[in-house]
Amino acid sequence: MQVKLTLRLDRDLIERAKGYAKQRGTSVSQMVANYFQALTAEEAASVDTDANWKQNLPPITRSLIGSLAGSTLDEEDYYRHLEEKHR
């Protein structure tokens, strides 16, 4: 059963959200529903005790966790990158 939810947001934010939704062929309501569903699914998935620290991170940051798994990059690679960048 679907019910109505009223949100009070900045007018500019609402217009940007509507444009974003239109470009993707969806509605703002569906985007909000998907976001809420992702948030609650993420909470349910974090069963292990070490995951508690993740709960304090913003959703976008949490979504990046594990994205470099298997990477062979290390701190030295980062320093080399900085040296190249600032020549």
Gap between the terminal Cα atoms of the chain: 60
Domain extent listing, the chain? 11-85
**What pTM did the predictor assign?**
0.48
Amino acid at residue number 63: S
Q: How far apart are CA 74 and CA 60, in angstroms?
A: 23
* pLDDT one digit per residue (tens) for the chain, 87 residues: 889 999 999 999 999 999 999 999 999 999 999 888 888 776 666 555 555 777 788 888 888 888 888 888 888 998 999 999 998
Distance of alpha carbon 36 from alpha carbon 29, whole angstroms: 11
User: Distance between CA atoms of 11 and 85, rounded to whole angstroms?
Assistant: 40
Residues near 27 by Cβ (< 8 Å), separated by ≥ 6?
21
